[in-house]
Amino acid sequence: MHNSGPGPQVRALAGSSYKSDEAKFKEMADASTALAKAYIQLFKDAAGAAGASPPTAEGGAAKPAGSGTRQLAAARMHLRGVLKQCEASFSEHASWQELAALMQQVTALEDKALAAAKAAAADSK
């Protein structure tokens, strides 16, 4: 069975010397960017599906399983780990800066989604 996508690539690079080798770091940064963007897209797809769901008996849209912020949390945790592990060696590297910017994007999306969920919960009471 062949796994495609950024997940297997990230796992393969996790055991490498990406924390100190610039070429390996660049590979890890590229794979991590692809993984985080995939998580963001999964979140957006789930959020879109939740908005298109038929109404529930209470009048709100039904949320499909997994439509929460799990994808964003996974992206945030992965990016946070890579950024922390590589900060001492590569914080000035353009790829590290891109990962940091992506982390900010993920955090902003997650904060917005959590605030919307909280507001929806308050409205339903």
55: helix, strand or coil: strand
125 vs 122: CA distance, rounded Å:
5
pTM of the model: 0.78
Could you give the residue ranges of the DSSP H alpha helices within the chain? 6-14, 22-51, 70-90, 94-123
14-61 confidence digits (pLDDT tens): 877 899 999 999 999 999 999 999 999 999 888 877 665 444 434 444
Instruction: Tell me the C-alpha distance between 118 and 20, whole Å.
Output: 42
Over 80: is that where the pLDDT of 96 sits? yes
Q: How far is CA 36 from CA 44, 48, 103, in A?
A: 12, 18, 9
pLDDT at 109 over 80: yes
